[in-house]
Amino acid sequence: MINGDYKQVIVVRTDIRMSKGKLAVQVAHASVIAAFTAYREYRDWFDKWWATGQKKVALKGGDEKELLAIADQAMRSDLPVGIVRDAGLTELPPGTLTAVAIGPAPADKIDRITGRLKLL
């Protein structure tokens, strides 16, 4: 596959208020969690993603229910998933779902789930 055929998508809640810094950290948490899952369980996908620049896309995901539905669909599609629930040490109550990452995986598999979402 050529560069860009593997990617990771991070879907962020848009119904809660987070500072820009908090949002950036939640996206980073989700990315790392999903990447480690891929490294352990989908090594070929991870290696191809890594070798082609680690493409990432951040998307608007709506509320908690929508993010959980996206995560569930990705898991049922046998894709690596990272789900972030905040520890509650700064801006948000403990356990607040903030972001879901899918991949690294083949872009077409992720797009079937997230292709309708808008860029963050």
- CATH class label, 6-114: alpha beta
Q: In this structure, is the dihedral angle defined by the CA atoms of residues 69, 73, 76 and 80, taken in order, positive or negative?
A: negative
101-111 residue pLDDT tens: 999 999 999 99
d(CA 98, CA 51) in angstroms, rounded, equals 29
9-55, pLDDT tens digit by residue?
999 999 999 999 999 999 999 999 999 999 999 999 999 999 999 99
Domain ranges of the chain: 6-114
| 56, 8 Cβ separation under 8 angstroms | yes
DSSP three-state, residue 47: helix
The pTM of this model reads: 0.94
Task: Tell me the backbone φ, ψ of residue 63, rounded to 5 degrees.
Answer: -95, 180
